Amino acid sequence: MPDVVVIGSGGAGLAAALAAHAAGASVTLATKLGVASCNTAKAQGGIQAAVGPDDDVETHLADVIASSHDTADPALARRLVEDGPAAVAWLEGLGVAFTREADGALRLARCGGATRRRLLQVGDRTGHAIASALRAAVESADGIEVLDHARLVALEPGRATVERGGERIALDHGAIVLAAGGRCKRVAEETGELSTNGDGATGEVAELAVALGCAERDHDSLQRHPTGAAWPPPLAGYAVPETTRAYGALLRNGRGERFVDELAPRDVVAEAILRECAEGRGAETPDGRPAVLLDCSPVDPADADISLPYMLRRYRKAGIDPLAEPIHVHPVLHYQNGGLVIDPDGATTVPGVWAAGEITGGVHGRNRMMGNSLLDCCVYGRRAGRAAAEAVA
């Protein structure tokens, strides 16, 4: 019987498994699809941490609280930002090579709602780089067993049951960390909206946890990424990274006018786009769907080469050069703001059950800032994994 069972192989689950292992626990990590399948690996833009010369954790905290419109849990948000610089150092130690300027300084961008340049990047495949490094560390650790294609189907005190290859396997444990991400893929399928999320984001683990007695908060609060690709069809639902706007891209309506501060908090930008479309000032896609235009021409091509290469490649492959012509964008379902209630060590309200990452609520309140979710996975994944291991010991 493992000391600690971890559910999910995204950033939060991998970080939790590593932390529990480092604290001396034997760990079994079960994940629904392939081990590499998670939203974490899809993250492009970057991870926030107060590491810049003009920045500090109090400023980061103030930005989180303001962007959440005072709905974030202050104690959870404080832990998030306070652990930020150490989380970045930990990732670097695991081999994540954050993009640096010619003088060796970390390349930092200012994202929506931030008052400082605080976003560290690995080109525009930051999540992929982080997930790959964490996965390599998990796979090389002696004492972490990984069960892929093992879907959690039942949760009881001290026992998690997974289904794998048609067989049900009972994983008895001393403690469990739930890190199964959000549910935006399922919601999108139910409502017909586009979503940026991968196939694993279906939310059943949170439902099992709530049935077990875990408290939840802000369940109704779902975030829309302001700039989902609306055209061409092969890119529908692709999240055009917020770093386009961080490096100067402008939003324009159908009349060519700007209508919002491009680096306002995410919900403000998304609502402004929806308003332009609803009030007849949008710029319809060639097939008649509502959209506005993202004008990337102000982005310095040198910045685009360093920080947006994946985005450029995807559009150019589809026959559009975003630096030469404006692209059609519209908000798409992206992130579950609400989730399981946790304390600053990731403990849920049910003894023996910890949680981390997008499955939890409160860290970001009802409006998450870009870059703080990858940070959340590392900070709260590590906290939950360590606390779960210590509780068993």
Catalytic residues: 266
Q: Which residue in the shown chain puts its C-beta closest to ligand FAD?
A: 10
**Does residue 8 touch ligand FAD according to CB under 6 A?**
yes
DSSP line for 43-92? --S-EE-S-STT--HHHHHHHHHHHTTT-S-HHHHHHHHHTHHHHHHHHH
- Which 37-96 residues touch ligand FAD, going by CB under 6 A? 37-40, 42-47
**Does residue 32 touch ligand FAD according to CB under 6 A?**
yes
Selected from 23, 138, 333, 377, the binder of ligand FAD by CB under 6 A is 377
**Does residue 179 touch ligand FAD according to CB under 6 A?**
yes
Q: Strands across the sheet with 360-361, in order? A: 216-217, 339-341, 360-361
Place of tokens 């890190």: 179
CB of 384 to ligand FAD, least distance (A): 11
Pick between residue 232 and residue 254 the one whose CB is nearest to ligand FAD. Answer: 232
**Does residue 237 touch ligand FAD according to CB under 6 A?**
no
CB of 198 to ligand FAD, least distance (A): 7
Q: Strands across the sheet with 159-164, in order? A: 151-156, 159-164, 167-172
Selected from 4, 5, 6, 12, the binder of ligand FAD by CB under 6 A is 12
Selected from 71, 132, 197, 253, the binder of ligand FAD by CB under 6 A is 197
Query: Which residues sit opposite 340 in a β-bridge?
Result: 216, 360
- Which 145-174 residues touch ligand FAD, going by CB under 6 A? 151-152
CB of 254 to ligand FAD, least distance (A): 26
Residues 342 and 358: beta-carbon distance below 8 Å = no
The one segment of 2-10, 61-69, 252-260, 344-352 that binds ligand FAD by CB under 6 A? 2-10
Instruction: Tell me whether residue 131 is exposed, middle or buried, using C-beta atoms within 10 angstroms of its C-beta: 0 to 12, 13 to 18, 19 or more.
Output: buried
**Does residue 177 touch ligand FAD according to CB under 6 A?**
no
**Does residue 205 touch ligand FAD according to CB under 6 A?**
yes
DSSP line for 152-202? EEEEETTEEEEEETTEEEEEE-SEEEE-----HHHHHHHHT--B---TT--
**Does residue 374 touch ligand FAD according to CB under 6 A?**
yes
The token pair at 213 is: 């007695």
Could you give the angle at which helices 372-392 and 84-93 cross, rounded to 10 degrees?
A: 80
CA 233 vs. chain centroid, Å, equals 24
* Residue numbers at the binding site for ligand FAD (CB under 6 A): 7-13, 30-33, 37-40, 42-47, 126-127, 151-152, 179-181, 196-197, 200-201, 204-205, 239, 335, 357-359, 370-374, 377
